[in-house]
Amino acid sequence: MMLHTEKEEDGVPLMTRDEEKQKKILRQQLSLKEADSRGPISAFHHESKKLWHIAGPAIFTAISQYSMGALTQTFAGQIGELELAAVSMENSVIAGLAFGVMLGMGSALETLCGQAFGAGKHKMLGIYMQRSWVILLGTACLLTPLYTYSSFILQYCGTTKEISDAAGKFALWMMPQLFAYAFHFPIQKFLQSQGKVLVMAWVSAAVLVLHTGLSWLLMLRLGYGLAGAAVMLNISWWLIVILQLVYIIYTKSDGAWSGLSWLAFADLWGFVKLSVASAVMLCLELWYLMMLVVIVGVLPNPLIPVDAVSICMNLQGWDAMIAIGFNAAISVRVSNELGAGNYRQAKISVTVVSITSVAIGFLVFLLVLATRDTFPLLFTSSEAVAKETTRISIVLAFTVLLNSLQPVLSGVAIGAGWQSLVAYINIACYYLVGLPAGIILGFTYDYGVMGVWGGMVGGICLQTAILIAVTALTNWKKEAAEAESRVRQWGGSAADE
């Protein structure tokens, strides 16, 4: 019987499909034998090295990119309370909504690129990234009314007219950032899936230094205020996109990038459905705490509570970048190992990242409690805002502790392709339990900010507990088989190139 051979390259036949399958089985057997030969401590250390190789630069990248918006918000706080509220509302609500949608749509690549890379189908990665560009650019166009009518939307949600008008004006200036997201997130997932995280870290660090100096100059020194903030944020995000894209085109990304292709427009509808499932899962998570700022804006005399919560969300956001770095690392580790069929190593990866992330979260929990009287002064010159921030910092401490594990478990879900399941869990825990509980405690029982935030933390507790149970009961051998099927399903014509 004739064996099917891949296309020839320079006249040399490539490996037959049967030979490729046999080599993959051999690699799996060697991997399992190697894993069995290690003791628990050795296995933990071995996986930790692989994890930190990705997580370290990923955390640094996430912190650098988040710090651009956070530092802009800090500079705005030095200008005045209204400016701080305007930037906070735009960052937390308008840009936050868009960020959630775009990141979620792009996160389909974490599953597909990671598993394809693990399976050795490197050429598929560039096609996947281009398909994601097409989909995210269309999504960005659909999201432009969110920026255009942001003032009306915020007022409809109950925010005061003064804050809504200021935030709406700033949102219009920030529209170029939306289209930078459309290119950035697919590029990010493309590089992460190959473990090329150091280049992302260097690019983000260089842009952050430039952003910090020029933002201070434009906003405070030259007095351009929010206009200067918008100019620098837009320039900084587009600069990140351009520099990373130059790197990909110049290096060819070890064969993962072979130029623009019409295959980017193939299987778009199926790709859209997978992207939407990823977006729903992540948006329900990202928007949950962002809604806290909106709900607090409905309280009587909201300016000081909004500023206090914004400062806490700013700090929580920096801490969340650590968890997001681990989220990226575990999604890469799980998807790569499942794509290669190494299901036992995938299970070990989940255990190692969970222990590591929770340990770091506990240290941050203690740090917040120890500095609750002093850290607010770094963000505001208002004594009233600083006092309110100190009062609610206890809830912030428990939030950062819970959020040390929850994003990691979501990363496991992305790596394994469980986005739809986690979306249902998020709806139930966040929006049927946590959010109603927060509204009842905050408004009906008059606990204010503490009640709203405390109820929402309860939803996070429930969601985390369920994800722990789901992960613990997972049949990882079955997940590896499904990953192999997924690579074949989404490979399309690219798989044969």
Task: Tell me the per-residue pLDDT of 66-111, one tens digit each, with 9 for 90 and over.
Answer: 888 888 888 887 787 788 878 877 877 788 788 878 887 877 777 7
Q: How are beta strands 8-9 and 12-13 bridged, if at all?
A: antiparallel
Total residues found in the chain within this entry: 497
Question: Average pLDDT for residues 312-324, to the nearest whole number?
Answer: 80
Q: Which helix (H) or strand (E) holds 13?
A: strand 12-13
| Top mean-pLDDT range of 98-102, 117-121, 142-146, 153-157 | 142-146
Token representation of residue 342: 């190494």
What is the DSSP-derived secondary structure letter of residue 12?
E
Lowest mean pLDDT segment, chosen from 135-149, 385-399, 469-483: 469-483
Nearest to 417 by CA among 320, 338, 323: 338
What residues pair up with 5 in beta bridges, in sequence order? 16
Task: Tell me the per-residue pLDDT of 3-51, one tens digit each, with 9 for 90 and over.
Answer: 333 444 334 344 445 555 555 545 554 555 555 555 677 878 888 888 8
In the block, residue with structure tokens 């912030």: 396
Token representation of residue 307: 């500023």
Give the distance from CA 347 to its chain's centroid: 22
Domain ranges of the chain: 44-489
Residues contacting residue 483 through CB under 8 Å, at least 6 positions apart = 115, 118, 119, 335, 338, 339, 341, 416, 417
Token representation of residue 310: 């914004």
Task: Decide: residue 311, CB within 10 A, 0-12 exposed, 13-18 middle, 19+ buried.
Answer: buried
pLDDT score, position 487:
62
Q: What percent of the chain has pLDDT over 70?
A: 88
Task: Tell me the per-residue pLDDT of 413-440, one tens digit each, with 9 for 90 and over.
Answer: 776 777 778 878 888 998 899 999 999 9
N- to C-terminal Cα separation, the chain:
24
pLDDT score, position 14:
46
